[in-house]
Each structure stands twice: as structure tokens, then as C-alpha cells.
Amino acid sequence: MQHFKALAESVKDRLFHLRPELLHRTSDPGLLAVALGATLYSPATRSSLAYGIRKQAGAGCLSIVVCLEDAVPDEEVPAAEENLLAALAELSQDDPGELPLIFIRCRTPEQLLDVGRRAGADLGVVYGFVLPKFENETGRGRAFLAALELLNKEAGRTGDSKGQALRAMPIIEDLSTTHLESRVRVLTDNLALVEEFRELVLCVRIGATDMSSAFGLRRSRDLTIYNVKVVANIIGDVVNIFGRPNDGWVISGPVWEHFVNTERVLRPQLRSTPFEAVNEGELRQRILMDNLDGLIREIELDLANGLLGKTVIHPSHVPVVHAMCVVSHEEYLDALDIAGNAGGGVKASSYGNKMNELKPHRAWAERTLLRARAFGVARPGVSFVELLEASMR
């Protein structure tokens, strides 16, 4: 697996100062958590599920979630499970290196164990499970992780020579982690729980749809989740508790759920200048028509608030997320300057346009260099517009 793998060699030479690293299912989980990028959700009821997973992998998607929870009507759960198991059986015939990281989102710990056991040897194509409405006030979080631990043991996925352990991605979205009166206590308890199961947990995800639902809210295409103040406050608390440097977790950005053009109330959120500079006015118009300008703005705010990667529900979102995750040449030089100087102090940036405080900015520099390994570093003067244009052809 490798971001931007499908681009021609000449295009990669033109765009990248440093190319993204080649990744494997056995790569360091800390790097894989950063490299997930756009995690594409698909209902387990979807027809030709295996074909769709292969198709999206070929288009550059490195992580996919097959959902048995909210995306599936209650009465269709048995059929969805059978459809998923049939897809896993089909995919088990493929070269694992050609597949994305596949996760299954289950409703309950009991369903996780049941589906995993029924998959048998075909579970080998699955990288992990998504744990929805993760909380431990009721013991649900511990039950999920204990079920995954048991499934790993039964399947011989113990993280040693017997096989790569199945990993968990808990989703912070439960009412107890949303409502103000219980939030900090439950989030703190959740942190202690994932620390206890650190070897099983890949990263933490944010479920902004459920958070918004708790207040009867939904953001429009003209707004980002950060305009919904009550949800933005929750995201801030999640980052405060889970995202601290050194022992902190990778936290993914919330889902972007718009993909069909609708009437606009506010002006487009995408400046024309970067597109005019590379003669890509047509690309800008396409982005506006496909509701992607709001996504671009929200990704910028995700990154500024300590989130990396994003849950998406449409293939058109994938190249946008990945282009926005590439480290700029300026960021890269700043990060190298800061990370390479342990003595502290202050110095002007290599681009001569900002101040780098070497101790306060160190955690940012280390995270930026890890993102550079996963998504690459753009050449000087190459903007996200050129990366996006190459990816969306």
C-alpha cells in the first residue's frame, strides 16, 4: 500500500520532494494510524461488495469500513452479515498487498465475536474492527475489547509470528461522552481503558453525526463541524484528553456527509487564486459543484485542531483528504529544523516568514515528520491544487 501509488512516475517526480513510504499490513501501527487517510464507509448490504473494495483500493483508498451498525436497517442485519462473509471469502483469494486495510463495524461485542468466528480463515483479510458508541459506564467498551482479544486468541492473531493482531478503532460518539455533565469523567475512563488495551487499539475516531444527533442538529454543506459550537466543544475535549503529545493517540476527523450539489446559502469557501496560478479553473468549478469546498475547509480545521484523516462516505472525498494530508515543503523544513535541534531556542524559519520556537514546537514537528512518511512531502511551490488535480484525473 502506498498513497498516490497510481500516479505515473513522471507525475510523482514533479509533485513530490519525498514520496510516501510503501506500507504493509505489518508496518508499525503508529505509522498506519497516521496513514489511514480517508476511511471510506460502506454498508454491509451493498451488492458486489468485494468488487467495490477492490475498485476503491485501485483508486487509492487505503482504509475501508464495512458497516453492520447504523448503515444497516435492523431487519436486514442477517442478510448484511451473510453478504459481508461472502465478500471476505472472495477477497481472501486476492493478494493481501493489493487490498486496503479492511475494518468491520459491529453493533455489539457479541456480533463481533460471532461474525469473526463465522468468517474463519477468511478473517485473514480483515485488519480490525470499529467499535461504535464506545463508553465504559455500562462496561460496553471493555466488553468490546475483551471480545476482540478473545477473537485474536482463537484466530491465532496474537501479534507475534502467528499473525498480525486484529486492531480496534473505538468511536467517541455515545451520549455519555457527549453530554456535558458526564463527558470528562467518561472520556477519562475511556482513555484509561484504551491505555490498558494499547496493543489492540490503532486509533480513536470521532462520531460527529451521533454527537450532533444528541442535540437535534446537522451541519449544512456551507458550514463545517466547527461552526456547530456544541459539537466543536466535544471535539476539543476529546483532543484534550486523548491527543496530548508523547503518549497521545491519533484521532481521526469526523465524517463529511455531503456529496450531491444543492442550493447554496453562503458564498463558496474556496479562493480562486491557487487555481488560477496553475490554470485549473475547471477543477475549482468541479470542486464547488461536488460540495468539496466545505470538505477542504473542514480538513484544514481538523488539522489545526489535532485531528488527522477523515471518515468519508463517497469516493470523490478520498483524493481531497489525501491531497490535504501531504506535507508542504515549507512545513517539512520547519519540522526538520525543530526536530533536529534538542537545545531549544528560537530561529527564523527556512522560508524566512515565521519564528520557530524549538522546544514548544517539537511535538508538532514530530507529528509532521510522521505525516510526511505516510503522505509524502510536496516539492517547493507545489500546492494542494496540483496534488488534487493529479489525483482526480
In the numeric block, which cell numbers belong to residue 5? 501509488
- Taking the whole predicted model, whether its pTM rises above 0.85 is answered as yes
Q: What is the side-by-side strand order in the sheet with 126-131?
A: 205-206, 167-172, 126-131, 101-105, 63-67, 38-43, 310-312, 253-256
Amino acid (1-letter code) at residue 254: P
Digit-coded pLDDT (tens) for 53-97: 999 999 999 999 999 999 999 999 999 999 999 999 999 999 888
Digit-coded pLDDT (tens) for 371-380: 999 999 999 9
Domains parsed from the chain with CATH numbers: 22-325 (3.20.20.60)
pLDDT of residue 393: 66
| 98 burial via Cβ count (<10 Å: 0-12, 13-18, 19+) | exposed
Residue 195: name the closest of 246, 247, 153 by CA: 247
Chain centroid to Cα 303, Å, comes to 12
Digit-coded pLDDT (tens) for 294-335: 888 899 999 999 999 999 999 989 999 999 999 999 999 999
Residue 331: name the closest of 303, 350, 307, 311 by CA: 350
**High-pLDDT (> 70) share of the chain, %:** 90
| 159 burial via Cβ count (<10 Å: 0-12, 13-18, 19+) | middle
Alpha-carbon distance values, 104 to 66, 85, 293 (Å): 5, 11, 30
Residue linked to cell 446559502:
265
Digit-coded pLDDT (tens) for 188-233: 999 999 999 999 999 999 999 999 999 999 988 888 999 999 999 9
Residue 221: name the closest of 266, 283, 287, 270 by CA: 266
Half-sphere exposure of residue 370, counting CA atoms within 13 Å on the CB side? 18
